[in-house]
């Protein structure tokens, strides 16, 4: 049974599970059957059944992780194609992203405290809406719990991909630029991948939202939390 722990088998299994989950969502058309969520659940179940530790699994998964950075860089291609539109509306785009960043930090900390979360947990949630490497570094710098932050970032991204566009429709936000920017600002790369599925125009502005929110979160999270008396 050693082949069950083989790096190449685990790598193939990861791709296979995600492909199957992706196919399932495409056939059913249900946004609730998010491929990332289903893949995580199935792979956790597999690791539990076969008694494989996360460390062992990660030896194969790091080969996938390597491509995450080039994939994020590739998001600049649709962004470049919309460069003329971005230049014309740069001020409202930047201001909107800044407001989204600050409101996201303030709201999650307030709600967490109201729900009884400890100080450390509350500040760990502050950088929830940016991509994992940035979120973990911000969390570490403000005295949060990076591992908790990473888990919350995944949850936020999946939630945004599943329900983001529906929430925007309920809120009567129909402009493609506003929708794309909102998805990237609120649910980082996972939301951006969903926006890409909807259309490259949406994906381009979601990429912009992802980028701007990452920069603003790194800069303003310590300042906002200090003004709130959290650090």
pLDDT tens figures, 117-172: 999 999 999 999 998 888 999 999 999 999 999 999 999 999 999 999 999 999 99
Residue 71 pLDDT > 80: no
Give pTM, 2 decimals. 0.82
CA-CA distance, 133 to 135, in Å (whole number)? 6
Q: pLDDT tier at 75 (50, 70, 90 boundaries)?
A: confident
Q: Among 47, 66, 85, where does a domain finish? A: 66
Residues 213 and 153 placed together within one structural domain of the fold: yes
Residues 21 and 50 placed together within one structural domain of the fold: yes
> Which residues are CB-neighbours of 171 under 8 A, at least 6 positions away?
none
CA-CA distance, 72 to 88, in Å (whole number)? 24
CA-CA distance, 18 to 80, in Å (whole number)? 29
Residue 1 pLDDT > 70: no
Name the residue range of residue 18's domain: 2-66
Residues 163 and 144 placed together within one structural domain of the fold: yes
Residues 50 and 80 placed together within one structural domain of the fold: no
Q: pLDDT tier at 182 (50, 70, 90 boundaries)?
A: very high
Residues 184 and 95 placed together within one structural domain of the fold: yes
Q: Among 32, 66, 100, where does a domain finish? A: 66
Residues 215 and 128 placed together within one structural domain of the fold: yes
């Amino acid at each position: 049974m050693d082949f069950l722990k083989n790096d190449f088998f685990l790598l193939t299994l990861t791709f296979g599970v995600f492909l199957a989950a992706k196919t399932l969502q495409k056939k059913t058309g249900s946004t609730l059957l998010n491929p990332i969520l289903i893949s995580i659940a199935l792979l956790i179940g597999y690791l539990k059944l076969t008694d494989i530790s996360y460390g062992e699994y990660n030896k194969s998964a790091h080969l996938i992780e390597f491509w995450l950075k080039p994939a994020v860089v590739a998001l600049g291609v649709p962004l470049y194609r919309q460069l003329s539109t971005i230049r014309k509306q740069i001020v409202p785009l930047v201001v909107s992203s800044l407001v989204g960043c600050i409101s996201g930090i303030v709201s999650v900390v307030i709600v967490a405290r109201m729900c009884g979360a400890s100080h450390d947990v509350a500040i760990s949630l502050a950088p929830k809406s940016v991509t994992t490497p940035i979120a973990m570094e911000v969390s570490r710098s403000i005295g949060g719990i990076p591992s908790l932050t990473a888990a919350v970032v995944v949850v936020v991204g999946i939630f945004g991909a599943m329900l983001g566009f529906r929430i925007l429709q309920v809120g009567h936000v129909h402009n493609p630029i506003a929708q794309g920017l909102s998805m990237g600002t609120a649910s980082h790369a996972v939301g951006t991948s969903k926006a890409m599925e909807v259309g490259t125009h949406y994906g381009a502005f979601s990429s912009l939202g992802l980028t701007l929110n990452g920069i603003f979160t790194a800069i303003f999270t310590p300042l906002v939390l200090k003004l709130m008396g959290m650090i």
